[in-house]
Structure 1
Amino acid sequence: MAADLRLRILESITDVPAAAWDALAGPDAPPFIRHAWLCAMEESGSARLETGWEPQHLTLWRGKQLVAASPAYRKHHSMGEYIYDFSWASAAERLGIEYYPKLVVGAPLSPATSPRFLVAAGEDVAPLRLALIQAAIESAREGGCSSVHFLYPREDEAELLEEQGLARRITLQFHWKNPGYRGYDDYLARFDSKRRSQLKRERGAAAQQGILIRTVRGQELGPEHARRAYGFYEATCASRGPWGQVQLNQDFFVRAFRSLPETVELVQAEHQGKVIAGAFNLVTPERLYGRYWGCHEEHPFLHFHVCLYHSVDECIQAGRKVFEPGAGGEHKVSRGFEPTAVHSAHLLFDETLDKAVRDFLRREHAHLKPAVEQAEQLAGLKPWPPQGRATG
């Protein structure tokens, strides 16, 4: 690390001014690395030591100026990461290795790609990125962690981490991508007639059931919408049994709605004067991020309409390029969501365990291309634009 740089590890995101942190992230940053999002996670108690997320943010300073940072947490379990390493923890236990705590570089409960190395404008990016990688590894070792994990970095960051000796992992999410649709019918035209009929039937079910679906955003949002979003999230967790652990509390939603009003949206489904289902989403000019959904009444195809079709239509209208609906959900493939690589990078300090993980990742990677080909075949999307039609 350069002699003029000083490393500070922050035990709370509030230990750094919001303006200083967000200046590193830049105005177009995904919401998950913004100060307000991390603050809502931590100050609500949803991502604190008591819940297994111990803030350890890496910050580099030149004098009093913050020049680089990485959001980081000492983790005491593997829940809420969505880059699954439970089998690694089991292997460590068999070897007599304490797997927890580990150091995770990333945002809590946010399975979305976003920068992991935040660097001030005008700075030389390359050495500061390397300094943050070094700081993560050294602080993890000194803090008694078994390992360090960079979750959901950008592809160029993942390549750098691999060059620095970390084991790179590639997994799949399913994203909707806008190649230049002029309307919802253009999206439907990508499917064969049988699939188009299916999608129209699923989306049209809401009107037949007397359900109105709309998006609440901006000044219309209030504390009642935050409480409603939490209720939907809690209902979904309850429906999933042991894997449906409630990790966010209501105060998180209240804080997020209050501090990110230009970013938060709530898709609501109303039936007979009651709001019966909803989806908590985040937006930027180019992307929509689907986060949490839930319902209090079951209706056929309601999930697909609230979480997928309604937002696809709105993305087309707004000219957004990508809709990321979160982790998992292979059912999205048949509805036009394409397999998309997401990245992580890992270094385990025990050599035996590290070798075992790298062997596992090599085997896992060998199955990646067939999985993508299978998903693309299942999606069956026709080329866009159609032959002979320009998008301009």
Structure 2
Amino acid sequence: MTALTARWHRSINEIPTQQWRDLLGEGATPFYQWEWLSALEGSGSTVPDQGWQPFHLALWRDNKPVAIAPLYLKGHSYGEFVFDQAFVRLATNLGFRYYPKLLGMSPASPVLGYRFHILLGEDEAQLTAILLQTIDRFCKKNGILSCNFLYVDPSWRPLAEAAGCAAWLNQQSLWSRGEDQTFDDYLQGFNSNQRRNIKRERKAVANAGITITSLTGDQLDRDLLQTMYGFYEQHCAQWGQWGSKYLNQGFFEALADEYRRKIVLFAAHRGDPRHPVAMSLCVHDATNLWGRYWGTNEQIECLHFEVCYYSPIQWALERGIRNFDPGAGGSHKRRRGFMVRPHVSLHRWYEPQMDALIRAWLPKANDLMLEEIDAINAELPFKVEPPTLDF
């Protein structure tokens, strides 16, 4: 068998689209598909000037990639939503340089699913180990303190841990339909007080003369995605330097060209849905929905809850979608049908002192996070099956 060759790629465009698709196979989340990552790079949203240097690692055999690790060299920690300030402080106290770091995730997309993508029929454990060994050599040679994989696919986690990665537990919100078939079924899962509250919130939007229309597929074009970008930009601007504006207009326009069948916009309007007063953008596949961005031109009571939670849940129920991840942050999500679930990030540190200190701390930190998740879910105002906590 021909030997493997490891290559570092400073752009996803160095790997042909179809070869990337072959590596991902069926079932990969939209956020790791070639078109999404290419739109981020091509629009200038994830480029070195923004602190994201694409640095994908591939194993090649006979001019064909058989494994890929989507990676970025990061000069900061923005756009990750796994907050590593404690690690930054520890590195500073120990006299180590924390940045740049090597990062595996879909940029600015805190969604579960990171893994090494390996061609069907190859030895996944062996190639995972080879990729990690290649990463280790690169980081040690170049004085990089850490490599971090965020929002890890649970099915890939055992392979990475077997190869020496350390697991750090965090939390994220999720709605799952269970046996619900309609929005009324969803409402029946709540206690009576919260059920009345949700009905009141939806009525407040209707009383303001607002209609919500979902737009997807061939209904989308550049003009609509430019409108969505305007809402996104305006919403980020409200928060000043904390606005987390990671994407530019070119990225939204690229979605209209390449990705519109995986995008659904929820337009809040009084007349033409193409001229909304507010809008949210979600991404979907056959079984999952992900809430990503929103914005509004008017301050209307409860409109955020309607556009970002209730209408997407209703849309998901009507289309047989099983799960809805509404995005990072926001304890208000918990009163509207979203339980808390654990998610894992995996880490490697290349200074022995730093590595030993963090690995000694992680078991206690992870136990405390599990206790917090249990406590939060015990107080939810709706019936929920506890998440599997296999840690």
Structure 1 position 347, deviation (Å): 1.3
Q: Give the Cα–Cα distance (whole angstroms) in 1 for the partners of residues 205 and 74 of structure 2.
A: 42
Match of 2:388 in 1: none
Are the equivalent residues in 2 in contact too, given 1:213–1:269 (CA < 8 A)? yes
Partner AA of 2:355 in structure 1: D
Cα 1:369–1:28 change in 2 (3 A) is closer
Structure 2 residue matching 1:20: 3-state secondary structure? helix
Q: Which amino acid aligns with 2:232?
A: Y
Please, what TM-score do these two structures have when normalized by structure 2?
0.94
Does the aligned pair in 2 maintain the 1:184–1:313 contact within 8 Å? yes
Q: Conserved in 1, the CA contact under 8 Å of 2:104 and 2:114?
A: no
Is contact 2:59-2:67 (8 Å) kept? Answer: yes
**CA distance in 2: counterparts of 1:380 and 1:206, whole angstroms:** 22
Give a deviation string over 1:130-181, Cα, whole Å, max 9, x none: 2222222222223331110011111132233222222201111010001121
Correspondence for 2:389: none
Q: Which runs of 5+ in 1 are unaligned?
A: 385-392
Q: Paired residue for 2:64?
A: 65
Specify the alignment match of 1:229 in structure 2.
Answer: 228
Question: How many Å separate the matches in 2 of 1:80 and 1:383?
Answer: 30
Evaluate the alpha carbon distance shift between residue 359 and residue 237 of structure 1 in structure 2; reply closer, same or farther with a 3 A threshold: farther
Structure 2 residue 54 is matched with structure 1 residue 26: no
Superposed CA offset, 1:106-146 (max 9, x none): 21111111141111122222211222222222222233311
Spell out, residue by residue over 1:256-314, the C-alpha distance to the aligned partner (whole angstroms, 9 max, x if none): 22111211121111136641111111110000011111112111111110000001011
Q: Residues of 2 paired with 1:154 and 1:313: CA distance?
A: 27
Distance 1:194 1:362 in 2: 38
Query: How far does residue 383 in structure 1 lie from its aligned partner after superposition?
Result: 5.9
Q: Which moved more, 1:183-192 or 1:239-248?
A: 239-248
> Do residues 252 (structure 1) and 276 (structure 2) align?
no
Q: What is the one-letter code of the residue matched to 1:23?
A: D
Q: How does 1:34-113 map to 2 (within 5 A)?
A: 34-113=33-112
In structure 1, how many angstroms separate the alpha carbons of the residues matched to 2:124 and 2:95?
40
The alignment yields a C-alpha RMSD, in angstroms, of: 1.7
Aligned pair in 2 of structure 1 residues 3, 94: CA closer, same or farther (>3 Å)?
farther
SS at match of 2:46: coil
Equivalence for 1:261:
260
CA distance in 1, matches of 2:252, 2:357: 40
Q: Residues 340-366 of structure 1, C-alpha deviation per residue, up to 9 Å, x if partnerless?
A: 111111111112222332344333212
Cross-structure match for 1:326: 327
Letter in 1 for 2:103: V
Counterpart of 1:309 in structure 2: which amino acid?
A: Y
Question: Which residue does 1:313 correspond to in 2?
Answer: 314
Indicate the residue corresponding to 2:146 in structure 1. Answer: 147
Measure, in 2, the Cα distance between the counterparts of 1:360 and 1:203: 45
Structure 2 residue matching 1:326: 3-state secondary structure: coil
Is 1:173 aligned to 2:172, yes or no? yes
Task: State the alpha-carbon separation in 1 of the partners of residues 231 and 347 from structure 2.
Answer: 34
Q: 1:216-365 residue pairs with structure 2 within 5 A?
A: 216-271=215-270, 274-365=275-366
Note the alpha carbon deviations across 1:219-250, whole angstroms, 9 max, x for none.
11011111112112112211223221321111
Deviation at 1:381, TM superposition (A): 2.3
The alignment covers a number of residue pairs equal to: 383
The alpha carbon displacement at 1:371 in A equals: 1.3
Secondary structure at the residue paired with 2:379?
A: helix
Mapped contact 1:147–1:347 kept (Cα < 8 A): yes
Specify the code of the residue in structure 2 equivalent to 1:380. Answer: P
State the match for 1:380 in structure 2: 381
- Is contact 1:152–1:343 with CA below 8 Å preserved after alignment? yes
Task: Please state how far the C-alpha of 1:3 moved relative to its aligned partner.
Answer: 7.1
Q: 2 CA distance for matches of 1:353 and 1:18?
A: 39
SS at 1:379 equivalent: coil
Counterparts in 2 of 1:280 and 1:361: CA distance versus 1, 3 Å: same
**Distance in 1 (alpha carbons) for counterparts of 2:361 and 2:293:** 31
Q: Distance in 2 between matches of 1:179 and 1:173?
A: 18
Determine the structure 2 residue equivalent to 1:124.
123
Please list the CA deviations of residues 1-21 of structure 1 after superposition, one character each: whole Å capped at 9, or x if unmatched: x97111111000000111100
On the 8 A contact 1:161/1:168 being kept in 2, the answer is: no
Contact 1:70 1:106 survives alignment (8 Å): no
Q: Per the alignment, do residues 166 and 27 of structure 1 end up closer, same or farther by CA in structure 2, a change over 3 Å counting?
A: closer
Letter in 2 for 1:56: F
Aligned to 1:9: 8
Provide the rounded CA distance (Å) in 1 between the counterparts of 2:103 and 2:253: 26
* Consecutive unaligned residues in structure 2, runs of 5 or more: 386-391
Deviation at 1:57, TM superposition (A): 0.2
Equivalence for 2:188? 189
Q: Say whether 1:215 aligns with 2:214.
A: yes
Structure 1 length-normalised TM: 0.94
Distance 1:162 1:128 in 2: 14
C-alpha separation between the residues in 2 aligned to 1:204 and 1:359? 52
